[in-house]
Amino acid sequence: MSPLLTRAILALLITGATPAKADIAPRQLILVQDSGWMEPFLSAEGSQFRPFIEALAAAIRVPDGTIAIATFDQEGQVPGRMSPRILYAGPYAAAPIQSAVAAIDLPRKAGGQAYADADFNGALLGGIRRGLLGRDGVIWMVTNNKNAPGNSPAVERNTAAFYAALRDSPAITRIAAYPVRMPLKGRNFEASGFVVYGIGYGAGGQRALDAALSSGGLAALFRHPPVNLKPVLAGGVTLRFDKLDSGGLQAGLENGVLVVRGADAAAGTVLRLTGHLDNGLYPQRIVAARLILRWSASGPEAASARAGILPDRVANLPPQGESEALAVSLTLPPVPRPAGLGGLLSGRREVDGALTLQLTELRLDLDPAFLERVRLIFGSSLLIGDQMTGEVVAQNGTLEDRLPSLFRDYRSVSEAVVTLPVRIEARFSPWPLIAASTGALALLGIGFLGAAATGRPRTCTVMLGAFPKRAILRPFRTTILRAPDGSHWRVRATLWGPARAHRLVEVESGA
């Protein structure tokens, strides 16, 4: 089957799958190779292979989840049974799983002489159809990564299609591997170990695999971290801060965001942090990388801020290791106070942005300790390396060249990016607010006094023509007064100064 056809089948499987309900855990399938090269694990005296499979099932179990146990060889070679062969499917239960694992055998081809061969591509597609029922889930493939020498071109094409599907199919979202040392000698073959591949199928399978890899169950079962194969940078590189050098500022991570408090908005802020670059990759070692730190703001207030990092290069950073101390600086310009009354009343302003650390000129290689640990597992010329150029490479190439090509995909990586969200709480001086508040209070007081004065009557002397007259008047209210000569006057008092009087025109009435 061609790699292109395999990817098309995988796409049809995932698009035709019935979406699982959010409260139903994705299925998990433990798919065990049972071809002839597995003979030492399945028949050698004292082999701990079967107990290991049982322990794997216990380590990956989740509440309300379904686990299937199955074996695979090559479809059609063993009369009377298909591949994969489902031995158990249901909720986790130790007794039936133990019985299913005990039923794993070494089938023979028609004629009963030779052990069955392995078809990894058929196992992958069949595992998705029969084990996962075409739905999102995780396949835990247990294999010793060997094929018989001189296999037919069809077997070699299937092996190439298997690796092409793992690497290129968008349906395969996540792959991790655990190489396991288990030296055994059977009646016919010897073995040094095997590999457990965790293959996440669909978005739900990716989440389920990530959850399993971070669980305590697998950490207790395996002595070393998983090898992240897809995506290559899974596990990632992170920038971690552990010291703040700027006086008067407070900084810390809150829900994955670096929050800085106490910045002076009017004067700007220089934030100085001491941090480390953590290499969360495994088993890749960062041989060398150049560091470029950039600041990006979500608004115009701090778009001109500048970021820097020293030293600007790292080298020889082992997997799961940290760099030497890095000095990170962020120079924030003055932050303008928001316009209007709301800005005047505000005592702070939040500036959101992100620090982006770009690792360029990145060179990775495999950790020498890892290569030494897996030397016996992958050192055979019988490996199913899908990109080997014949036996010459298998015999004369380095150990890394003998690894399945998925283990070498890191060679195409030359850049990595680390992004850290940042929120800066910039404080404004309280004096403008105090001055505005004082002025407002003064105006309020004046208004209050004016209102009080307006409503209080006062006794004053008002001139009605040539006649002075004392009267009780209220400011800004009009009163009609009569002078001693009988004339009438309209009188209006003010808060200050003499009252004003205007004589009214008398209208004479005739007979």
Q: Is 281 exposed, middle or buried (0-12, 13-18, 19+ CB in 10 A)?
A: buried
Pairing of strands 467-473, 458-464: antiparallel
Go through the domains of the chain in sequence order and give each one's CATH number: 3-231 (3.40.50), 237-367+413-429 (2.60.40.2310), 435-503 (no CATH)
Given this model, what pLDDT does residue 20 score? 43
CA distance 453 to 444: 14
CA distance 241 to 253: 9
> What b/e readout covers 352-389, taking b as 16+ CB neighbours within 10 angstroms?
ebbbbbbbeebebebbeebbebbeebbebeebbbbebe
DSSP secondary structure of 258-275: EEEEEEETTT-EEEEEEE
Enter the tokens of residue 129: 């159809």
CA distance 99 to 220: 23
- Residue 349's DSSP bridge partners are 426
Given this model, what pLDDT does residue 14 score? 43
Is the sign of the CA dihedral 202, 203, 208, 214 positive or negative? positive
Given this model, what pLDDT does residue 5 score? 40
Provide the residue-wise pLDDT of the chain in tens; the chain has 511 residues.
444 444 444 544 444 444 444 446 889 999 999 988 899 999 999 999 999 999 999 999 999 899 999 999 988 888 889 999 999 999 999 999 999 999 999 999 888 788 888 888 899 999 999 999 999 999 999 998 776 555 556 666 777 788 888 888 999 999 999 999 999 998 888 889 999 999 999 999 999 999 999 988 999 999 999 999 999 888 789 988 887 766 677 778 888 888 888 777 667 778 888 999 999 999 999 999 999 999 988 877 777 888 999 999 999 999 999 999 999 998 888 876 665 544 445 556 778 889 999 999 999 999 999 999 988 887 655 555 554 444 434 444 677 887 888 899 999 999 999 999 988 887 765 545 555 556 556 566 555 555 555 557 778 888 888 888 888 787 778 888 888 888 888 888 876 778 888 888 776 544 3
3-state DSSP call for residue 2? coil
The reply to whether the predicted model has a pTM over 0.85 is: no
Enter the tokens of residue 345: 């009343």
Is residue 62 within 8 A of residue 205, CB to CB? The reply is no
CA distance 298 to 302: 8
Give the number of C-alpha atoms closer than 13 A to the C-alpha of residue 200, restricted to the C-beta side: 21
Phi, psi dihedral angles at 131 (to 5 degrees):
-85, -45
CA distance 382 to 395: 10
> What b/e readout covers 16-31, taking b as 16+ CB neighbours within 10 angstroms?
ebeebeeeebbbbbbb
Enter the tokens of residue 43: 């028949």
H or E segment and range at residue 460: strand 458-464
Q: Where are the beta strands (DSSP E) in 45-143?
A: 66-72, 85-91, 137-143
